[in-house]
Structure 1
Amino acid sequence: MDKNRNSIYDMLDCVNISAKNSNERIRTIKFNLENIKSSFGESYSLY
């Protein structure tokens, strides 16, 4: 679980860097993160 969590955070860092200058991209990413979060279920939080 910890390895998965670390890889998710690494992925989020890359996403944040690539999108930091684009509000539209950031909104899309937040929407996608909510979908990812819900697919893991309530017991597993990305935040």
Structure 2
Amino acid sequence: MKIGILGGGQLARMLSLAGTPLGVDFVFLCQAHDACAATVGEHLHA
């Protein structure tokens, strides 16, 4: 399963860290190049 999240801040990162052990992949859409969540999932720059 793949889930898209708008924003790549701390809450997005915590959600990804909780969902990854369950087999969920995450894609983050945000404006920042250095978003917190960019290291734990796919990052799309808006």
TM-score normalised by the chain length of structure 2: 0.39
- Between 1 and 2, higher relative CO (CA 8 Å, sep ≥ 6) is seen in 2
User: Which protein shows a greater Rg?
Assistant: 1
Higher relative strand content: 2
Higher relative helix content: 1
